Structure 1
Amino acid sequence: MSRWLTFVCLLTLVSGCAAYATHQFDSVFGEQNTTNRVVAVSNEDAAFYNDQVKPILDSRCVSCHACYDAPCQLKFTAVGGIERGGSKELVYDGTRLLASSPTRLFIDAKSTEEWRSKGFHPVLNEREQSPAANLQGSLLYRAIALRAKQGAFDQPVLSEGYDFSLARDQQCVSIEEYKQFEQDYPKWGMPYGLPALNTEEYDVLTRWLAKGGKMPAMAQMPSAMQDKVALWESRLNGDDLKTQLVSRYIYEHLYLYSLYLDGGEQYRFQLVRSKTPPGEPIDRIATRRPYDAPGVDHVYYRLWLDPEVKVQKNHIPLQLDEARYARWTSYFYDEQYEVTRDPGYDPEVATNPFKAFREIPAHARYRFLLDHSQKTIMAFIKGPVCRGQVAVNVINEQFWVYFIDPEALYGKGSTDYLETQVQNLDLPAVGSSNTLPLASWVIFSEQQKSYLSAKAALIEADSGKTPLNLKLIWDGDGENDNAALTIFRHFDNASVVQGMVGQQPKTAWVIDYPLLERIHYLLVAGFDVYGNVGHQLVTRLYMDFLRMEGEMNFLLFLPKEDREAIRKYWYRDANQTIKDYIFSDYIKVDRQSEVTYTTGDHQSELYEKLRSKLTAVLNHGYDLDQSKLPAEQINALHHLQTVRGGGLVYLPDVATILVTQQGNPLEVISLIHNKAHANISSLLDEEAARLPNEDGVTLAKGVLGDYPNVLMQVEVSELSDWANQVAALKTRADYSALLDSFGIRRTHPNFWFVSDAIANLNKLDRPRESGILDYNRLENR
């Protein structure tokens, strides 16, 4: 009790310390030095952090402070991120003329001192270690104290004193600048624009920070897990050329994934390149891209234990088990082929997977990618960017994806064909991270035309061997539910889920091996979020080619007399350059589809034929019929999905709805606003192509979308009324009325209750895939 009274007295003293001027920090608390924080962490300290502090940081801080789009690059996802602190430098800068230096946590610096040399400032006290100094010198404490001082919100929609735009002018101040910040932005405490921590949470963080913000090292893995790590590392580090090339291929595709070696969630690994062999501590090789020259004679592929908490927007889970290894063995090692040389890391080769891995059969590479195709595509959305309108405004709001069957193609003839086209399959990263977009676009446009022209000629010449019917579509081998995917775009982010989710879309893709490989090397392995504006623009422009190629593959299954009219509908009001490309004679296939149609709506009929073919492997996890909701309420939600246009334009991109039963959490449903466009070929003026009268919505069971724009709470008995109110929207005021009835705005006193309930149901629903949601896009209206 006496210690607690002493603490209260010190806390009272600290409240008055705000009067100190910035320049007095050093004279009062000593000079800042990272070594001041090197203190012993007792078992008691460790338990306090793990059991009481970390859950608060995870549930109240990580929702805004994770991945590259964390404000001020401050990441609360791991001890290393908290120790690193914040930075005034922006990761996302669409105007920079030269690429910037990467600042990836755990990669681009190995110590707190190195991060300080890169301009990161501390958020924990790095001066004298006393309770007064630990609180007054902690940005984290000062931020939560500022929010507590503000008190509860007194209006549902916050005033103009807040800025929630993604491009807002971030105020990334250091502790020495914080007194002025408190005067300039008295409402900008943390959590920013959200309800304050409750008394118990505030007390726990204050006690932790007063004692020095002690954080334990990561616990040792049990011996059984260490044995599994050793087994997989031995498999990936053979001495023969074939194993080395295959392991390099695996690494370049899985390096962003969260790899699980057992059925639990406690241990997640990343596949990394190391200078050191298995059995020694990992010495990570830090390069801008996964295929850049490593700077060592021998690369070792190691499994690095990931210390970060699971965040849904960048979590790509993959299970490594014996069944998967058996499949990899059948693709890569049982095939009779010889690897004769190491392709090296020259950019001309390394940026083009068709050159670097040409000695691995295309069939094997395609089989590997198909085995987890959802993850392959998900990586370009969850991987290097976290966010970015330029990266995803190249895709439609909702579309379905299918794949060419590897057994129907990619024998020796296809391998020979790829070999002749390898130069035309170069990708923008060949120009590094500093690129001149216009010149690059012209070059890649001509190469893509040459490739598609050769592909069309191959299809025309192959009429007797490769019929254009549904036998060409991969059926997941009757057991793999990656055979059909749905992609939803949510303005500047997107989701990829298994199954044919939602209403029939305007467009669909059929992806073959060269297209799937280029998607990965364009938008994942070859994309640099730290690159200059030219690199980012040419990447986006090249993705236009890949989207159109996937769409063209789909059109081949429709009667040839339909194709041009459908393509014109997809690209209404597109500029003439795009039209010239789309309708070019270079890329037309004159062969007739061999799919038999019996109705007048061929595209709709094709969707249903594909649904029938893939019935055995379609994932229904997002179907409303799988939810706990009563049939009457489900029918109301199905009806809402038939509504088009009108007031739907006022809906956000993603609404996450907690359905309660007498106030108790029952189910989560997601409302996805599918915004219609005349075309999506415009790089910058997307709004000019909008067709709000064609907007629709998708309702899904569970959490769909990693960045909710609004949270709602609806009693199950009122769900039909909620659906009817959404369907009847006509004005912006109607949407505000909807929020008045059901919305859990940023200011709502039940915000954290609803947030926690959604998180818990999400974890129960999808234990492996779920993670902490991102709140940087929550609206204020």
Structure 2
Amino acid sequence: MSRWLTFLCLIVLVSGCAAYATHQFDTVFGEQNSQHRVVEVSEEDSAFYNEHVKPILDSRCVSCHACYDAPCQLKLTAPAGLERGGSKELVYDGTRLLASSPTRLFIDANTTDEWRSKGFHPVLNERDQSPAANLQGSLLYRAIALRAKQGSFTQPVLSDEYDFSLARDQQCVSVEEYNQFEQDYPNWGMPYGLPALSPSEYDVLSRWLATGGKMPAAAQAPADLKKKVALWESRLNGDDLKTQLVSRYIYEHLYLYSLYLDDGEAFRFQLVRSKTPPGEAIERIATRRPYDDPGVERVYYRLWLDQEVKVQKNHIPMQLDEARYARWQSYFYSSDYDVTKDPGYEPEIASNPFKTFQEIPTHARYRFLLDHSQKTIMSFIKGPVCRGQVAVNVINDQFWVYFIDPEVVYGKGSTDYLEDQVQGLDLPASSNSLPIASWVRFSEQQKSYLSAKAALIESAGFNNTPLDLDLIWDGEGVNTNAALTIFRHFDNASVVKGMVGQQPKTAWVIDYPLLERIHYLLVAGFDVYGNVGHQLVTRLYMDFLRMEGEMNFLLFLPKEDRESVRKYWYRDVSQIIKDYIFSDYIKVGRQSEVQYVTDDHQSELYEKLREKLSNVLDHSHDLEQSKLTRDQREALYKLQAVRGGGLVHLPNVSTVLVTQQGVPLEVISLIHNKAHANISSLLDEEETRLPDEDGVTLVKGVLGDYPNVLMQVEESELIDWAKQVGSLQTAEDYSVLLDTFGIRRTHPNFWFVSDAIANLNKQDRPRESGILDYNRLENR
């Protein structure tokens, strides 16, 4: 009882302090009024914001304040995020028992008052407008002023008073509470745990905030671009049932993408559902999932001008041009088929794409997804599941992905058979789930499906299709999406085109039913605001999909190899997993018809696939494409051959700036590929680690959206750097490496190196690049 009384007293005390602080602010600066933020911006103020203020916010603030995992939900990617402010509520909460209400910028509220009613507090002054009030009443100013007061760092590694863990207790205080915050956390100004703004940057932001923090309205698209918008909207909003169903299919797969309608980078759009038709102002339909009931008689698909700055961790670019439209037309309209009904939005239908879109030929749907398969897979990485070890520990640290050729497999008979089977597969569609009961049901359904699939492969009809490399899609010799590499970086991941890095432990071969289920499980059907049960059952279901992709790959190996290879992939797994992956339900007795000439069949298969796909393999990350010399590249390849030892001390992603007499020359990425006995452990991953089998991949350019450490290496020292990394033995050795080449959080050149990497990244990949995320920078 005494504990509860103490707790209640603390609540009363804190509430009383907050109320007193609010009263003090109200007395000095007037009562809070969000309408004070609605101001007319002069041409001069607009130019000052766009030319001076915005570049500082983008390069110094957005790196930590973007996406769902922005601290305190403070998104600084657009003026609307600044006006919305911050919140004490967490988006990523692995403990909540019930789903929370979504708070998506531009979707779940339209005005500042609406955000205030949802618990968001201002970070800009919303009281009387005077220079003093605008500064003292601005959380943003108080935060950068606190950091400036702290001064330069005096030690290379920050003390334990800083907490950089993703699961840290966030201090999401309002401006009324900031006096107490300054006393409790005097070193927690912004940028948090990074070098302070330069005097000129501080002066720009201070002047801007003192005069009211005025921000112009988003730039409007030029007239020629508006015509393209109107054209695409007319194409997507036909009145016939076929066009409406096809447009719904396109929307449910592209709603996260950044869509470009011209060759420039200034304007990009998102495909949204609206209550209003083309020609009228967009009224976005806010639902948890893209397939939820819109609550209106007719949905219109509109192109909404994206107002946020480009952030690489959630940026999925796609060009909408006439060539792409012609391909879509050939996929969806070349076949003679009828759409006889609107499938509606009942959850058991809408959550299962094989039911919803049954009347669109499977061949058309698969062709559409293959056309941009990297982005299809990337949506799982860059979508709402953009953070969390539990979300991505279902995949290995590096593996290659290939696809079944739709022209070979998807004949009428086999298509109809698989469609019938896959319609019986439920996907996790509830934001409030009970994981154990769901897992049992999903497991039985998956076994039944795989058993039917195995029977189909061994059937007389399918025996006319050899199990050889003709089954693998070659991109028709032009599409570079035919082979992908996925890198996992502990709690996030990257998807790139090509067969990047050394031969991986595992690989996937994906067919249409698998590709579609990956999307509806981890993208369309995933609710970042869902309860812990929803997130766990999503992770558990993805186990089935990973194993299915791996089993598809194993079919190309001699049948006598399959079980031993699978056992190697799943060393030390639990009996439950063994019973599943070695069950008779999923065994295929047909022999592979790939012709082998060596004893290392898996390695030989990789090289045969490399040869088959040689015309479409993307090489943009190859070191040969860099400005490095032959000797330097050879040193990096020697490092890439190192296994185990001190590599265990490397972080997941090291982003390395190579300079030539101090001038930025090139960026290379050092990826730590961590080995595991298996990846079937949900919560005890460390128990499956095999550090002696660890390796690294070195590539040209920025690979990984969340660098863990920045380094700067002079070109003349690059070979020595590679030798030093390869000879690491202890944590102290890694610390010495950072003493020589590291650009730690505390380094005075941090922002110079950060800006140089950003500039080279933009030059290297103008459309794909964006602001990197620094929430995972280490402190060691």
> What TM-score comes out, normalization by structure 1 length?
0.97
Does the aligned pair in 2 maintain the 1:147–1:188 contact within 8 Å? yes
Give yes or no for the alignment of 1:449 onto 2:447.
yes
Q: State the alpha-carbon separation in 2 of the partners of residues 190 and 196 from structure 1.
A: 7
Does the aligned pair in 1 maintain the 2:422–2:513 contact within 8 Å? no
3-state SS, counterpart of residue 437 of structure 2:
helix
C-alpha offsets along residues 131-170 of structure 1, whole Å, 9 cap, x if unaligned? Answer: 0000000000000000000000000000111000000000
- The residue number in structure 2 matching 1:589 is 588
Q: State the alpha-carbon separation in 1 of the partners of residues 264 and 413 from structure 2.
A: 44
Give yes or no for the alignment of 1:142 onto 2:142.
yes
- The residue number in structure 2 matching 1:68 is 68
Q: State the alpha-carbon separation in 2 of the partners of residues 554 and 415 from structure 1.
A: 20
Give yes or no for the alignment of 1:176 onto 2:170.
no
Does the aligned pair in 2 maintain the 1:22–1:179 contact within 8 Å? no
Amino acid at match of 2:146: L
- The residue number in structure 2 matching 1:335 is 335
Q: State the alpha-carbon separation in 2 of the partners of residues 79 and 385 from structure 1.
A: 25
Amino acid at match of 1:332: F
Does the aligned pair in 2 maintain the 1:37–1:129 contact within 8 Å? no
Q: State the alpha-carbon separation in 1 of the partners of residues 255 and 636 from structure 2.
A: 39
Shift of 1:389: 1.1
Does the aligned pair in 2 maintain the 1:660–1:713 contact within 8 Å? yes
Q: State the alpha-carbon separation in 1 of the partners of residues 375 and 75 from structure 2.
A: 24
C-alpha offsets along residues 407-429 of structure 1, whole Å, 9 cap, x if unaligned? Answer: 00112112211232134322111
Shift of 1:21: 5.3
Does the aligned pair in 2 maintain the 1:650–1:731 contact within 8 Å? yes
Give yes or no for the alignment of 1:754 onto 2:753.
yes
Q: State the alpha-carbon separation in 2 of the partners of residues 616 and 419 from structure 1.
A: 32
Q: State the alpha-carbon separation in 2 of the partners of residues 426 and 386 from structure 1.
A: 24
C-alpha offsets along residues 292-335 of structure 1, whole Å, 9 cap, x if unaligned? Answer: 00000000000000000000000000000000000000000121
Alignment of 1:168-567 (within 5 A): 168-429=168-429, 432-461=430-459, 462-567=461-566
Given the superposition, is the C-alpha separation of residues 193 and 464 from structure 1 closer, same or farther in structure 2, using an over 3 Å criterion?
Answer: same
- The residue number in structure 2 matching 1:705 is 704
3-state SS, counterpart of residue 480 of structure 2:
coil
Amino acid at match of 1:170: Q
3-state SS, counterpart of residue 551 of structure 2:
helix
Q: State the alpha-carbon separation in 1 of the partners of residues 379 and 761 from structure 2.
A: 21
- The residue number in structure 2 matching 1:682 is 681
Q: State the alpha-carbon separation in 1 of the partners of residues 21 and 174 from structure 2.
A: 14
Q: State the alpha-carbon separation in 2 of the partners of residues 377 and 527 from structure 1.
A: 14
Q: State the alpha-carbon separation in 1 of the partners of residues 577 and 500 from structure 2.
A: 29
3-state SS, counterpart of residue 425 of structure 1:
coil
- The residue number in structure 1 matching 2:634 is 635
Amino acid at match of 2:454: A
Amino acid at match of 2:495: V
Give yes or no for the alignment of 1:47 onto 2:47.
yes
Shift of 1:390: 1.2
C-alpha offsets along residues 706-728 of structure 1, whole Å, 9 cap, x if unaligned? Answer: 00000000001100000000000
Q: State the alpha-carbon separation in 2 of the partners of residues 181 and 466 from structure 1.
A: 69
Q: State the alpha-carbon separation in 1 of the partners of residues 165 and 683 from structure 2.
A: 18
Amino acid at match of 2:437: A
Alignment of 1:84-99 (within 5 A): 84-99=84-99
Q: State the alpha-carbon separation in 2 of the partners of residues 145 and 318 from structure 1.
A: 40
- The residue number in structure 1 matching 2:660 is 661
Does the aligned pair in 2 maintain the 1:658–1:666 contact within 8 Å? yes
Does the aligned pair in 1 maintain the 2:405–2:474 contact within 8 Å? yes
Does the aligned pair in 2 maintain the 1:404–1:512 contact within 8 Å? yes
Instruction: Give aligned-pair identity as a percent.
Output: 84
- The residue number in structure 1 matching 2:694 is 695
Q: State the alpha-carbon separation in 2 of the partners of residues 580 and 43 from structure 1.
A: 69
- The residue number in structure 2 matching 1:15 is none
3-state SS, counterpart of residue 666 of structure 1:
strand
Does the aligned pair in 1 maintain the 2:475–2:481 contact within 8 Å? yes
- The residue number in structure 2 matching 1:10 is none
Shift of 1:188: 0.1
3-state SS, counterpart of residue 617 of structure 1:
coil
Q: State the alpha-carbon separation in 2 of the partners of residues 744 and 211 from structure 1.
A: 36
- The residue number in structure 1 matching 2:27 is 27
Does the aligned pair in 1 maintain the 2:571–2:678 contact within 8 Å? yes
Does the aligned pair in 2 maintain the 1:68–1:385 contact within 8 Å? no
3-state SS, counterpart of residue 637 of structure 1:
helix
Q: State the alpha-carbon separation in 2 of the partners of residues 612 and 21 from structure 1.
A: 70
Does the aligned pair in 1 maintain the 2:278–2:300 contact within 8 Å? yes
3-state SS, counterpart of residue 486 of structure 1:
strand
Amino acid at match of 2:612: K
3-state SS, counterpart of residue 616 of structure 1:
coil
Does the aligned pair in 2 maintain the 1:424–1:450 contact within 8 Å? no
Amino acid at match of 1:374: Q
Shift of 1:588: 0.2
Q: State the alpha-carbon separation in 2 of the partners of residues 374 and 422 from structure 1.
A: 23
Does the aligned pair in 2 maintain the 1:355–1:422 contact within 8 Å? no
Q: State the alpha-carbon separation in 2 of the partners of residues 419 and 219 from structure 1.
A: 46
Q: State the alpha-carbon separation in 1 of the partners of residues 21 and 131 from structure 2.
A: 19
Structure 1 gap segments, 5+ residues each? 1-19
3-state SS, counterpart of residue 419 of structure 2:
helix
C-alpha offsets along residues 381-417 of structure 1, whole Å, 9 cap, x if unaligned? Answer: 1011221111100000000000000000112112211
- The residue number in structure 2 matching 1:5 is none
User: Could you list the runs of 4 or more consecutive aligned residues of structure 1 that deviate by over 6 angstroms after TM superposition?
Assistant: none
> What TM-score comes out, normalization by structure 2 length?
0.97
Q: State the alpha-carbon separation in 2 of the partners of residues 465 and 227 from structure 1.
A: 50
Amino acid at match of 2:327: R
Shift of 1:71: 0.2
C-alpha offsets along residues 316-364 of structure 1, whole Å, 9 cap, x if unaligned? Answer: 0000000000000000012111000000000010000000000000000
- The residue number in structure 2 matching 1:110 is 110
Q: State the alpha-carbon separation in 2 of the partners of residues 409 and 326 from structure 1.
A: 24
C-alpha offsets along residues 659-718 of structure 1, whole Å, 9 cap, x if unaligned? Answer: 000000000000000000000000000000000000000000000000000000000110
- The residue number in structure 2 matching 1:11 is none
Does the aligned pair in 2 maintain the 1:424–1:448 contact within 8 Å? no
Q: State the alpha-carbon separation in 2 of the partners of residues 289 and 543 from structure 1.
A: 19
Amino acid at match of 1:452: L
Give yes or no for the alignment of 1:155 onto 2:166.
no
Q: State the alpha-carbon separation in 1 of the partners of residues 450 and 667 from structure 2.
A: 44
Amino acid at match of 1:739: L
Does the aligned pair in 2 maintain the 1:268–1:306 contact within 8 Å? yes
Does the aligned pair in 2 maintain the 1:670–1:701 contact within 8 Å? yes
3-state SS, counterpart of residue 669 of structure 1:
strand
Q: State the alpha-carbon separation in 2 of the partners of residues 687 and 140 from structure 1.
A: 39
Shift of 1:463: 4.5
Shift of 1:523: 0.1
Does the aligned pair in 2 maintain the 1:134–1:212 contact within 8 Å? yes
Q: State the alpha-carbon separation in 2 of the partners of residues 439 and 385 from structure 1.
A: 23
Q: State the alpha-carbon separation in 1 of the partners of residues 614 and 422 from structure 2.
A: 36
Q: State the alpha-carbon separation in 2 of the partners of residues 441 and 769 from structure 1.
A: 37
C-alpha offsets along residues 436-463 of structure 1, whole Å, 9 cap, x if unaligned? Answer: 1001000000000000000000000145
Amino acid at match of 1:192: Y
3-state SS, counterpart of residue 385 of structure 1:
coil
- The residue number in structure 1 matching 2:608 is 609
Does the aligned pair in 2 maintain the 1:354–1:425 contact within 8 Å? no
Shift of 1:173: 0.2
Shift of 1:464: 2.8
Q: State the alpha-carbon separation in 2 of the partners of residues 406 and 88 from structure 1.
A: 49
